[in-house]
A and B are shown apart, each in its own frame.
Chain A
Amino acid sequence: MRSLRMIAMGMLFHIKHVSRSPFDIAVFVVVPVVQATLAVYLFRASAEPQKLLQAAVGAGMMGVWSSVLFGAGGAISSQRWQGTLEMLMLAPRRPVMIFLPITLAQGAIGSYALLATLVWGRVLYGIRLDFARPWAFLVTAPVTVLSLGAFGILLASAFVLMRHANALQNALEYPVWLLSGMLLPISSLPAWTGPVAAALPTTWGARAMREATAGGPVWPSLGWCVAISALCLVLGAISLVHVERRARAAATLALA
């Protein structure tokens, strides 16, 4: 119970923290809408304009991934720049318990992208929100978003090992959009990308959302998304302990 309370309070604190940043607010508010508009015009120009709802959901998922990648993935870097990383690491809890609320909060913030693209599509482009399985969508969306937040812990721990995490962040946005089939089916990609895509929780999350939108077996996909994200969470927790010990031993916590 104490852990759950800590996660909830940590999420709330981080969301409040981000809400004070004009940069974060502007980017998180505007960019998903631009992506949704882009997706709408691309699909309108195509021979399959009937898939506009799937395009809007896909664009929303792209926004969730961007939020997780740049927010959750860069959480440790951000703490370092703000000079608060050492204090966080001094806290008498496991590192994963310190950073999980931050990455979950970024996932939750990313859910705005999903909501915004749907509202934008409905209001401006008249896209009918005819979900094949609306109740499944209402369950799938938050579970997927939180799963990706948990996946963010692995990113965060990986990025702390690298001095130039921002370069990796910039390089990772589009490949995951592409490999996860957020805007177009994975079947249109070369066959060798299949195993890579299957290992990403984003692929299964996007698939579950698509199945809830257009019809299909939602729960197996959602189950895979949660399972792979949980595995990433465990690996991230182990990695964070390793990183913390290494940084303490080398006295490079603020420099690593």
Chain B
Amino acid sequence: MSGYIERPRYQCALGGALATLNSVDRAVAIVHSAPGCSSSADSAANVGSGYWGATYCGGRATPSTNILEKEIIFGGESRLKEQIESTFSIIDGDLFAVITGCMTDIIGDDVKSITETFRQQGKNIVVAETGGFKGNSSTGYDLILEAIFTQFTEKGLEKNPRLVNILGLVPSQDVFWRGNLIELRRLLIELGIEVNTFFTPFDNTNSLKTASSAALNIVLSNVHGINAAKAFKETHGTDYISLPFPIGPSATNEFLKEVGKSLGICSNKVDEVIEKEKAWYYSYIHSLTDIYNDLDLQRNAIVIGDANYGYSITRFVSDDLGWIPAYVAITDILEDDQKELIKKQFDSFSHDLRPKLIFEENTSRISKHINEDLSSIESEFDHAISPAFVLGSTLDRPLAAELKAGFWSVSYPIVNRVVTDQGYVGYRGGLRLATEIFSVILGNR
């Protein structure tokens, strides 16, 4: 069980649920909580994910009951009912979702039965109890998806053997979720598969409504979205597989093979796609060969991020960029069995390239661990991992400065650059990341 957390790299359950809803076009959250919960959560999602910003009905426009002391004492149910009614009369949306904060969960408002009366009137409304103390963004993503899959998604649809749902990229927590999902879809379409990505600006609530016709859920994480996939399986009978989030050609080759195997796609077809995509990647990387070798662009890597990014970025810089992974810090709040799953992923690294793995939620302790370990390695001159490069959150910039290392922000929160359609997944995402990293190294020329 987790204790206090210094400079946390996620939001609460309410925040995760809100960001997830706001990433769906024409989905509208109704936040049943004190004033401030939705603004804080939205501002953390907006600023922390590279200025994600305005959404259809998010930010300050989010309908919210803004409950006060009198509702804490007498209950907030009538206020919620009033708010749902007025929201329907003024807001134009395709899916409404009541999500709750700490205080309404503690006082025990019966939000489910209130929402149920509106559902019986035929309204597209779901409810999830997302009190902040229930967990972090990832928990909130699971809770709201469970609610949508069980209360909104149509039951009993015929399965389409070529359709998959993608889960496991938590909007805003994965700062690049939009670009990543779009690239994933492009790749899978190349394999001849149809894909529900749900959370790009080009999706709508229909894909959530008909998601049960998918033959398979692909969870690109071994932590995030697993519970949602389990709830999906229980309600709609669709199986799921959990695969690592693939960045760069090496990881993506494996990813496509795995997906192909799961869906029974002919291996020739898979190989054909891999060859074509790899050729695309190498046609650009090839042109950087001079600078890679002449300017010595190889680095010792320190990677700091959540369960998805910690492993996948390390894998990319090691397998494709030829860097030496030195330290990896995983910042999620994790159970022991989840930590084991992540440790196991790192077993695939050869002895010389296996980074020191740190499970640490507290920001200052990450640098402390690394600095202590470095000072235990005898060195007459500079520290043992110079030249180093830190890939982490903006919060890790001071660590990079301390180590005189290069720095690029790739994990939440990112406040020192703007993120729009960028993504790191696949061949194109890997190329983008390589381009950005090398640009940072050459930035002072």
To the question of whether A and B form a pair in one complex, the answer is: no
